[in-house]
Structure 1
Amino acid sequence: MSKKAKKKNHKKHSSSQLTEKKNFHLEGIHEIFSHKDRADESSSELKDDTNIIADIINEERDKRKWRIILFASIFLSICAIAAIAGLLYFNAYNPFAEENIILNIDGPDKTKVGEEITYTIDYQNTGEVSIHNTKLIINEPHGFNLISSIPEISGHSFDLGTIEAREKGSVEITGEFLDNLETTQVLSTTIIFMPNNFNSEFSITSKFYTVLEPLPITIQPNAPPTTTVDQDTSLEFAITNNGLKPYKNFRLLLNFPPNFTVGHSSTDYFTDDNQIYWEIENIEPDQEIIIDLIGRFNSNFDYFIDQNQEQSFKISTALVNTDNENIIQEEQEFTINITAEPINLSLIANGQNITGTIDFEDNVNISISFDNKSEDTINNLSLDLIIASQPIEILDWNNLDDDYFGQLEKTDAGTKLTWNFNNVEVLESLRSGEKDNINIIIPILPLDDINYNQISSLENVTLHAFANLYYNDNPDPIKSNSVELNVNSNVQLDIEAKYYNSDGSAIGQGPIPPLAEETTSYYLTFNLSNELHELKDITIKSTLPPKVFWTDDYDVSVGQVKYTPGDRTITWSINRLPVSAKSANLTLKLDLKPSNNDVGKLMKLLEYSNLSVTDIITNDTISQTYGIITTNLESDRFGIGKGIIQESFSPFQ
């Protein structure tokens, strides 16, 4: 074979090998890629399996979360239902409410200083739950002095212990007030307790207000309107108990000018600077105590100076508290004028030497005194008394009581009554240091004797009185002080006890005459009449005697009625009574239950009654006291004489 052919064949063989190698490489690459594709497929399948597992896990987690939420919801619902059920059960079987505990105070709205009173404090558990560790705390009023209590108080509280459901009770505290009248008196009580099945304390507070009134003790100073220096000057003080009870341990105080020297007194006194005082141990109802005092004005000051001519005094009543302090009740001021006249002339009208009041049914009592302060005898005295009644005449001069028969004369200034030395022995001469007086009594006309057309003029009627004394033919008289009296309204209280009506029909119940150990009911009527002036602050107080019982059965036309069990007092209060009302009425029923020890006796249905009113025109407090009412029934024409207690009839006797 030629070289050329060999060369050609060699090229062919090389080319074939190259092609095979290429094919081999291509197949290897394809196989590699084939394996890669299979690996990718396996990887994809693995990824898909992993995602499925993750999805399953997530789904299980969601299911578990919702199961937990569902379980928690069910558990909380069960707890809530149990709590509500427990609450409903507790409320059903332990229905405690704070408003079920009631605390009330009963006592007097008004009381007089130094007068014993009782407060009743009622407590009640109206609920179904008992309360424990109960304590009643008493915060006493500012001026209250505790005397006793029921039950006995421990410090300022009562230990009440356990108060069962529907249980009630009360405590009482008794005491008196010794405090200034303007101080507000508040009794505050607080009940502290712990309800059953509770671990916390509750408290309820109640308050009661009491207004203080002064003692019903009046003082009336009697002093000469004029005097001279270095001469004995006589003062008189009348103390009267207008109340229904005795009063103890109070003082009468006198403040006097610095130039006045106190001398002798009818009762021992104590001195404190420009004040003296007397200790009054006791004064009974309607009792009057008179204290006389003699003093004199010193001559070491210029009494011709105007401001020195009128000297002021002040007389007061006071209670004494535990700190020995004076609790002033009533004060009155009066003056004495220093004069250089040889005769002191003074006029007193119904105990007054300046102004005062007089009740319509009273008499006018005039006392004119004349005192020779000079060193000479004074002769030929003549005395005039002038009384003016304005705007109409209300004095009954026809029934004048005058031992010296003075001469009456109508003048422009009023009615003049004159006495002179020609027919009155005490006016012939008045020696040095001698003192004398003339006294008269003038009745007031009955209202029925006053012209009906003039009744309206009585609203502002006043009496004005003064005296003039002439001596030794001196044309210039010595003038007395002048006194003005305002006439109070004609208020009147009538109290009657009845068993029968006016036609004889019975309105009472029970046996009459009353029988021992049996109850008889009577009707008492209070009729308050008034025609002249408007009245305010009207109070009528009556006290029930033993064995007479308040029934709470009454009928009143105006005002409020209150019964205080502590002191067994009935109080009828009226704020205002105009003239147009003319009257007010109260009818009440009282029960009497006598005992066998009362057989053969009359019994009291009512103790003394006290009326207190303020006259708006005169601004005077009118006080009147009325007697006891008995089973004798003086105002019942069918029941009179049927009041003696009889022995009770028994069918087994």
Structure 2
Amino acid sequence: MKRKTNEQIKEELRAIYAGHDGEIPDMTRLETREGSRLTRFLVRTILALGILSVVAWGGFFVWSRGGIGPSRPLETSSDAADGVRSGQEAFYTFRYENGGNAPIASLEATLSLPADFVLTSTNPAPTDETTLTWTIGSLARGSDGSITIGGVFRSEVPSTQTIQTLFTYRPGNFSSDFQSIETVSVNIEDSVLDATISGPEKALPGDEVAYVVNVQNTSADEATNVLVSLMAPEEFTITGAEPTTDETGTNAWTFNSLAPGELKAITVNGRYTSSAEGERSVGARVAFVNEQRMEFPQTEATTTTDVVGGDVAFGLVVNGKSSDQTVDPGDTLRASIDYANNGNETIRGLAFVLVLSGDAATLPIDWARANIGGAVRSGNTLTWDDTAVPAFKEFSPSDSGVIDLSLPIVSDLRAGTSNAVVFSLSATLDQIGAIESPRTIDASPITALVNSDFQSSAHAEYYTADGEAIGTGPLPPVVGQTTTYRVVWRVANSFHLLEGLRMTTNLPPKVAWTGKTTAEIGTVSFDETTRIVTWSVPSLPISIPGAEATFGVAVTPEESDVGAFYKLTNAIAVEAKDTFTKDQVSNGIDILTTELPEDEEAAGKGVVTK
């Protein structure tokens, strides 16, 4: 590249920097132009706002760090009693103080108590006793005060309870409210109620035994609404109690009041059944109860009795089970009594007594068809003594046997019939060996709850009972032509309330749903995807002894269907819940076809023709 001369460089610079007069300006002297007034104003404003922001934030941090005043001018604290026992009165103090540099314009305190705390005293009295609110008002700098409450925790042992006080206040130099919560946690690990239980160390099945429960209020205050419950094994049958229980059939006693130091004794008499053997625990549970009968357990006590196997061993089984069960109307209760002499002595005067009972005088048993196994029957009591079983006169060691009986349940359950059959079996004996030892030994009772007399039926029809055609198309059905039918479902029930009744079926692929439905109760629906027809009845009371639902179907036979009945529905399933027995009752119904056996007008017109 050719190097430029000095003259050439000057000419190029002149072309760039020369003015209108062709002269190059003096670059050694530069003049400054005065800026815009608006720009200067904006810059100064931004600087001023920045300084104010720094001052404001600085003041905030100084205030919050105590340079001007504390961030929480109201200071709170609390005092709680130590070793609080459930059922014993204790006191709690909530303190407040204005530790700030400005007065507090308004102050209010609201107390929050757990449900199992009984308030006995307050100092001072609350402004609003319903909400337990104290309106304290203004509070000068350095002033303080306190609220003291007394009360009784009737809480479960062990447990942790909390009492809270919400303070709402407004400092004099603020226009908004602030809040502070003071919480007291109380650990309850003991109770004022104490309990003991005593009973025999050993017992034989059938022997009368007694257990004594002692409950004492160990505090200096009255204890109210105390519940005592006996926890006994299933094989223990209570024959009496002093004092009597709250209600028949319950093992509970309620004492409205126990004075300071007062002791209450409960004596429970009973017998162990034939199935009891080995160590059995009997206990007593003590609790406070509130108005809603909610229990707050306080203490428990237990004792152990060794039940020694007796000479007579026997048991009761109903329909293969020794526990409670359900039975359907028309079914049979089959019971077996097995017995044996497990001792080394001959037993004399042995007899078995089976008492059948229920919640009504009339039992749902068909006595005309019953097999009572050779017993002597007196009403609902069956007895097997040495006249019915000669071996019972002198029942030798190692002898054994079985008594079988069957009790049919009636199908027609009428009003006033018992909802259950309770089997209560006992054995009596007069003498073991040379020792006269009259005693009665009970077996654990078995209850058979009777399900409702729920029935269902289904049929298809072309004509009504009056001969009116409700179907359409040819009859008998013809290949290539459409015939419609009505399917009728019925349910009947008169013994117990049923809930969640559902009757369902699946339509065959070539059967069409017409959409025509009726229902005296509940609703009929069809799922096009699953092709399931459902009749749903949420509740079927005994005031409605029967109900009906219908729906329409259509068929168009093909050549392959000629000479046979055409299937209209698949098998039908029916289920519902018996609200008394809690059992799920169910029925099953076979498929429906164009045979129409219940339609007299359509009889003999169900086979598909060409």
TM beyond 0.5: no
TM-score (normalizing by structure 1): 0.42
Considering fraction of residues, name the structure with more helix.
Answer: 1
Q: TM-score, length-normalised on structure 2?
A: 0.45
